[in-house]
A = this chain, B = another copy of it.
Amino acid sequence: MDLHSEMMAIGNRAVVAARKLAGLAVQKKNRILCAMADALEERGDRVLEANNRDMDAARNAGLSGAMLDRLELNSSRVEAMANDLRAVSKLKDPVGKEISHWIRPSGLVIRKVRVPIGVIAVIYESRPNVTADAAGLCFKTSNAVILRGGKESIQSNKEIVDALQAGGAKKGLPDDSVQLITTSDRDAVRELVQLEDCVNLAIPRGGEALIRAVMEHARVPVIKHYKGICHTYVDKSADPAMALRISENAKCERPAVCNAMETVLVHRDVAQSFLPELARQLGARGVEFRADEKARAIVPEMKPATEEDWSTEYLALILSVKVVESIEEAIEHITKYGSKHSDAIITQDEAAATVFFNEIDSATVYWNASTRFTDGGEFGMGAEIGISTDKLHARGPMGLEELTTYKYLITGSGQVRD
């Protein structure tokens, strides 16, 4: 079978599964999730053996230490995957919820009700835990999922999906609810994201290169974020201690994630006092600074920033620093170089915060808090399938509700249109 036919067959099976999933009662779904978790733990040894084979191949291929760490499973990581599935079983199911209803003058009753999206393709990189995570969230919302992980983790992913299928089947998981693409053909993703008649949504999770590759070929809707260039703007009316604490947290707490700060913008009125403290406090945490001329006039030890720095997602302990003349200049900078992910203003001035809230066109905008809070768990969603910097359907952290759509159910008594 050629690749196109193979992907079509997977897509068509997912469509059939999605129809069965749409009718599953929530109690049954929760029992299936727990059975999936149990099976993952029971088959832990097989999963770890498969992961060892992936790790050996990855070492032979010369993958970096960071890559190997992302790929590696151990018994506590397997247990964490299982527990995450159990946690998803406890979350409230949005499917079937009535969003609104109204009655037309004709007597027609219109109800807008949450339903599954249908078939979701999740395309990701080396972390095998995404396999169980994405499968659990899509299943909880009655979506069929087609998983395509990184080639490095193929053996691990196969065992994980086998466990989920076998465990779930005991409690009535419909066939093909969770499918894994196992072909080594790199064009599989291209074929997958062109299956307009089968796939309702593609969610790529990973580095910018992966996401651009998906977008290059996609004909199905894609929700994504390329990167997180998050800013903290320290206003002239900022509480300096708060500004320092938030800046340190936003940069240093976990620099390799998308909601970490990449650039601090400092109002000129407070730059003289703030920047030396910033350099001292974040410098002590190992942060390297790339600064504009105005900032370097205050802290000459900072390296000069290049134009490229302003749009670079360092994912490391590096921080761009710029002194701005006004909040307007800060907003202009964020609009030009930001990624519409998360941006913060630190100020005691409510008027300034309001301007920032209104004019920053990002998924999440903060006033006196760290950008690190952009996360499904931190938002109280209980889970996260990804973060969107797109504007359609879902923005910011995507939890269970964002994995649903709606339909209109309209009840009449014989109404016809004039």
Contacts and interface: CB of A to CB of B under 8 A. Distances in A.
Contacts of A219: 215, 218
A23 B407 CA distance: 32
B201 A367 contact: no
- In the complex, which range does the number of interface residues on chain A fall in? 35 or more
Contacts of A353: 411
Given A365-B409, A410-B369, A417 B378 contact: yes
A117 interface: yes
Interface in A365-395: 365-370, 372-373, 378-380, 390-393, 395
Nearest to A353: B411
Q: Pick from A362, A369, A411 the residue with the most CB of B within 10 Å.
A: A369
A273 B79 CA distance: 63
Q: Pick from A115, A362, A407 the residue with the most CB of B within 10 Å.
A: A407
Interface string A331-366: 000010000000000000000010001110111111
Interface string A100-112: 0010100010100
Nearest to A222: B221
Given A392-B117, A395-B406, A405-B395, A373 B335 contact: no
Interface in A18-67: 19, 22-23
Interface in A183-205: 196, 200-201
Interface stretch (A144-152, A239-247, A296-304): A239-247
Contacts of A366: 410-412
A242 B415 CA distance: 9
A405 B362 CA distance: 11
A364 B104 CA distance: 15
Interface string A214-226: 0100110101000
Contact of A410 (B118, B364, B408, B409): B364
